[in-house]
Amino acid sequence: MDINELEEKKERIYSCLTSEEYTPMKLKELAMFMQVPKQEKEEFKEIIDKLISDGKVIYDIRGRIKAAGADMQAGTFIGTSKGYGFVHIDGEDEDIFIPPDSTLSAHDKDRVLISITEGKRAGKSLEGVVVSILERANDRITGTFQRTKTYGFVIPDNRKFGDDIFIPHGFTKGAITGHKVVVELTDFGSPSKNPEGHITEIIGHIDDPGTDIISVIRAFGIPLEFPEGVINELSTIPEEVDEESKAGRLDLRDELTITIDSESAKDLDDAITLTKKDGIYHLGVHIADVSEYVKENSPLDKEALKRGTSNYLIDSVIPMLPHELSNGICSLNQGTDRLSMSCIMDINAKGEITGHRIAETVINVDRRMTYTNVQRVNDAIAAYDGKPDELYEKLKDKDLDIKSLKFNSELSEEIINTLDEYRDFAEMFYLCLELSEILRNRRHKRGSIDFDIPECEIKVNEKGEPVEIAPYDRNRATKIIEDFMLAANETVAEEYFWQELPFVYRTHDTPDPEKITKLGIFINNFGYTIKMGQEEIHPKELQKLLEKIEGTDEEALISRLTLRSMKQAKYTTTCDGHFGLASKYYCHFTSPIRRYPDLQIHRIIKENLRGKLSEKRINHYNRILSDVAFLSSKCERRADEAEREVQKLKKIEFMIPHIGEEFDGVISGISTMGVYIELPNTVEGIVKIDEFKDDYYYFDEEHYTLIGKNKSKCYKLGQRVRVKLEEADKLMRSIIFSIVDETAEE
């Protein structure tokens, strides 16, 4: 049943349920009433379930089916540890508040049907009540077991789940206090009763190395092991490229080709070539041709779609594809022939792409580079006392002693040795720097936003214990690759948009005007403004804001709040543009090893290049791509959440030995819960609101400020404070600070 047929049947059934003649009846009675043939009854039930999931249909207390009321809406429940929650309605920017006595035992991420009970008032959100649980998000929960004499209970790792889970005697699987466990829920509870469950797996003790990471993996349902069908299929895939596979491809093996990745990377899925002639840059972005080995609907393909993306959790990777592929024949390893999909672009001095070719190719990487070493060569080129062309000519002399060259500043031994090692590539590196700067400036002129927010890098020892946390440094070498990949992604997206073929795009919608208005109110506290035109903001306005705050104390704070005011990027089948990049056309073409949408569009491109995109195949892609885009977006969000959760755990673990110590920090958030403090190493904790009660502080929501009695002093975002670490608790997922000196502003 294709998507059009499904929608048609859903509409027919829904029309029946909303007709004046219909009286609520049970599923079996409804099937008889609608004269559903016996062989279609299973399909009929699936359609009813889909209508329920959509929030259009509900079961009443007697189990009868009826249409939901006009005032009811379906959405996703967002739980809190305080008992109340919010419901996010797809397509709506503001969530609906659900009081503690109106949740109907809904838990975090459950799909629910709600009825709006109160309209929006000044300073308050819409309010509603959950009338039906449409779909449970999880029937398995990870948490920490606590034993009593007669029973046990599990404290969920996800504190938004809300309630501890009761474990009856005899269903603990032998767990002891402190064990991380997986619980299968047998009863989701009620407002007056805790959920109940049986322990199905003991992951390990909370203090055992690696237990915390495995717990996160289990909590998010990220598949670890590959199924037997995938393992069997791997045996049919060659370890090296055979000559038959190379036939008919554009042969680029004689071109100087490099990869640039981190030192630890093993799945090298992108390579570049770059030359310059008559003022035109010829940039080739070559991407591993994963689609040659992962065929549609094969076990490998189905598992890749299920995973959606690779997951990067501190020092470990849970790959979308098995290592035999991602680190083997699909990795563009130095000195080996590899199949690739290439986007070869002609770019002028203004950064305009004046011509391009998308082709199936065969390449051979001359050198595997690292970001660190490329940066060293770039530092040497920048420091050379003379023209770059002169340096390249000298480097061609193999007997030249690099130390004999004159540099504007003293170079380290590491930089000199790296320049010597990579002397054959020095000219290409300089072209990379030159073209990267041109492309970046062109994006900047059109309004592309570069969020240079310091991401954290967490280093762990062999036991998985965090030993260092610091902001991640994006050097010039990493930006070169970013610029080239962006150019390829935009070029491919524009090409297939104008061909009007089914495709998967990367979309970033314009921010909600209300959120931008709130951002504008907030930044006024720091003396900044943003302009909006016709209720929409242009990305150039946010770009200007980020430039104004560069180097200021409030830079990291305003950058993060600006990012939070924007919508989340997603995969779609329509080319709706990318707000953050100020780009009309954008897709993900450059990482098919670790992202399913890239793999999907490689198949479409390959079929198109081979002239095999028949009407039948076009209809096929029109049927499946909406689901591919939706599932890929969902898996991406899961991966992001899991990564944040692991980082949070490691940050807490890192801070435990420092309890009682004092730190300088910056106020990064203020709410009715308290004041959030961020340390220079990106660790964030809270000073609870109770700390301020003696001074009768209250929260000014409009200005994100905590104001004291008589309005004589206040705490506000971006303010520097001295704090003491009172508590770092992995179980409760919390870091608690106290303010140790009087830093409130007058």
The two beta strands, 734-739 and 662-671, are: unpaired
Instruction: Pick left, alpha or beta for residue 727 (phi over 0 → left; psi -120 to 50 → alpha; otherwise beta).
Output: beta
Residue 63 predicted with pLDDT over 60: yes
Higher pLDDT, 70 or 13: 13
Average pLDDT, the chain: 88
- SS3 sequence, 291-355? HHCCCCCCHHHHHHHHHCECEEECCEEECCCCHHHHHHHCCCCECCEEEEEEEEEEECCCCCEEE
Q: Provide the pLDDT for residue 71.
A: 67
The two beta strands, 258-261 and 367-370, are: parallel
- For residue 42, CA distances in Å to 53, 176, 212 come to 17, 44, 42
CA distance 25 to 13: 13
The two beta strands, 316-318 and 250-251, are: unpaired
Tokens coding 165: 């889970």
Q: Provide the pLDDT for residue 736.
A: 96
Q: Provide the pLDDT for residue 653.
A: 94
Residues 184, 316, 342, 307, Cα dihedral to 10°: 0
| Lowest model confidence (mean pLDDT) among 360-374, 443-457, 626-640, 716-730 | 443-457
Q: What would the pLDDT profile of 330-365 be if each residue is shown by its tens digit?
A: 999 999 999 999 999 999 999 999 999 999 999 999
CA distance 66 to 25: 8
Q: For the chain, how big is the Rg over CA atoms in Å? A: 29
Mean pLDDT of 695-703: 71
**Could you tell me the pLDDT band of residue 158, with boundaries at 50, 70 and 90?**
confident
CATH number of residue 175's parent domain: 2.40.50.700
Q: Provide the pLDDT for residue 746.
A: 47
Assess whether 130 and 145 both reside in one domain.
no
Mean pLDDT of 204-228: 91
Q: How many residues belong to the chain?
A: 746
Residue 745 predicted with pLDDT over 70: no
CA distance 609 to 620: 17
Residue 629 predicted with pLDDT over 60: yes
Cβ-based neighbour number of residue 587 at 10 Å: 27
**Could you tell me the pLDDT band of residue 580, with boundaries at 50, 70 and 90?**
very high
- The answer to whether residues 731 and 155 touch, using CB atoms and an 8 Å cutoff, is yes
Assess whether 12 and 87 both reside in one domain.
no
Show Cβ contacts of residue 661 under 8 Å, excluding neighbours closer than 6 positions: 724, 725
DSSP states along 85-98: EEEEPTT-SS-EEE
Show Cβ contacts of residue 388 under 8 Å, excluding neighbours closer than 6 positions: 381, 427, 430
Assess whether 732 and 664 both reside in one domain.
yes
Q: Provide the pLDDT for residue 325.
A: 93
The answer to whether position 638 is within a domain reads: no
- The answer to whether residues 545 and 562 touch, using CB atoms and an 8 Å cutoff, is yes
The answer to whether position 156 is within a domain reads: yes
CA distance 334 to 322: 20
What is residue 226's DSSP assignment? Answer: P
CA distance 276 to 284: 12
Assess whether 131 and 158 both reside in one domain.
no
Q: What would the pLDDT profile of 265-321 be if each residue is shown by its tens digit?
A: 878 999 999 999 999 999 999 999 999 999 999 999 999 999 999 999 887 889 999
Tokens coding 496: 């297939």
What is residue 204's DSSP assignment? Answer: E
Tokens coding 241: 């490229």
The answer to whether position 641 is within a domain reads: no
Cβ-based neighbour number of residue 607 at 10 Å: 18
**Could you tell me the pLDDT band of residue 744, with boundaries at 50, 70 and 90?**
very low
pTM: 0.86
- The answer to whether residues 442 and 350 touch, using CB atoms and an 8 Å cutoff, is yes
The answer to whether position 507 is within a domain reads: no
Q: What would the pLDDT profile of 85-119 be if each residue is shown by its tens digit?
A: 899 887 676 788 998 888 888 888 888 888 888 76
Mean pLDDT of 56-83: 78
- For residue 123, CA distances in Å to 89, 126, 535, 555, 708 come to 20, 10, 21, 28, 20
Residue 5 predicted with pLDDT over 50: yes
CA distance 543 to 532: 13
Assess whether 283 and 414 both reside in one domain.
yes
Assess whether 197 and 157 both reside in one domain.
yes
- The answer to whether residues 371 and 314 touch, using CB atoms and an 8 Å cutoff, is no
**Alpha-helical runs (H) found in 330-425:** 371-383, 388-395, 413-421
Mean pLDDT of 188-207: 89
**Phi and psi of 286, rounded to 5°?**
-115, 120
Q: Give the percent of the chain with pLDDT over 70.
A: 95
CATH number of residue 20's parent domain: 1.10.10
Q: Which of 67, 92, 110 is the last residue of a domain?
A: 67
Q: Beta strands of 549-640 (E only): which ranges?
A: 570-572
What's the burial of 335, exposed, middle or buried (CB within 10 Å: 0-12/13-18/19+)? exposed
Contacts 24+ apart (CB under 8 A), 159-162: 159/81, 159/732, 159/733, 160/78, 160/79, 160/80, 160/81, 160/108, 161/79, 161/107, 161/108, 162/79, 162/80, 162/81, 162/83, 162/85, 162/107, 162/108
Q: What would the pLDDT profile of 522-556 be if each residue is shown by its tens digit?
A: 888 788 888 876 667 889 999 999 888 887 777 77
CA distance 644 to 314: 10
Q: Which of 22, 48, 67 is the last residue of a domain?
A: 67
Assess whether 297 and 362 both reside in one domain.
yes
- For residue 343, CA distances in Å to 330, 361, 437, 500 come to 17, 10, 20, 19
Mean pLDDT of 697-726: 79
CA angle in degrees (0–180, nearest 5) for 75-76-80: 135
The answer to whether position 637 is within a domain reads: no
| Lowest model confidence (mean pLDDT) among 121-135, 259-273, 403-417, 692-706 | 692-706
CA 744 to chain centroid, in Å, comes to 36
Domains contained in the chain, number: 5
Q: Which of 119, 135, 151 is the last residue of a domain?
A: 135
Q: What would the pLDDT profile of 451-481 be if each residue is shown by its tens digit?
A: 766 577 888 898 888 999 887 777 788 889 9
What is residue 656's DSSP assignment? Answer: G
CA angle in degrees (0–180, nearest 5) for 278-284-288: 170
CA distance 691 to 743: 14
CA distance 5 to 629: 20
Assess whether 117 and 185 both reside in one domain.
no
Mean pLDDT of 136-154: 90
Mean pLDDT of 582-602: 96
CATH number of residue 718's parent domain: 2.40.50.140
Assess whether 85 and 180 both reside in one domain.
no
**Could you tell me the pLDDT band of residue 519, with boundaries at 50, 70 and 90?**
confident
Assess whether 150 and 265 both reside in one domain.
no
Cβ-based neighbour number of residue 398 at 10 Å: 7
Q: Provide the pLDDT for residue 734.
A: 92
Tokens coding 531: 């302009």
For the four alpha carbons of 608, 610, 616 and 620, in that order, the dihedral sign comes to negative
CA distance 573 to 505: 6
Residue 488 predicted with pLDDT over 60: yes
- The answer to whether residues 415 and 379 touch, using CB atoms and an 8 Å cutoff, is yes
Assess whether 45 and 159 both reside in one domain.
no
The answer to whether position 522 is within a domain reads: no
Task: Give the residue numbers spanning the domain of 696.
Answer: 659-739
The answer to whether position 644 is within a domain reads: no
CA atoms lying within 13 Å on the CB side of residue 678: 23
Assess whether 177 and 203 both reside in one domain.
yes
CA distance 677 to 664: 9
CA angle in degrees (0–180, nearest 5) for 227-233-236: 160
Tokens coding 11: 């509409």
The answer to whether position 482 is within a domain reads: no
Q: Beta strands of 472-615 (E only): which ranges?
A: 505-507, 570-572
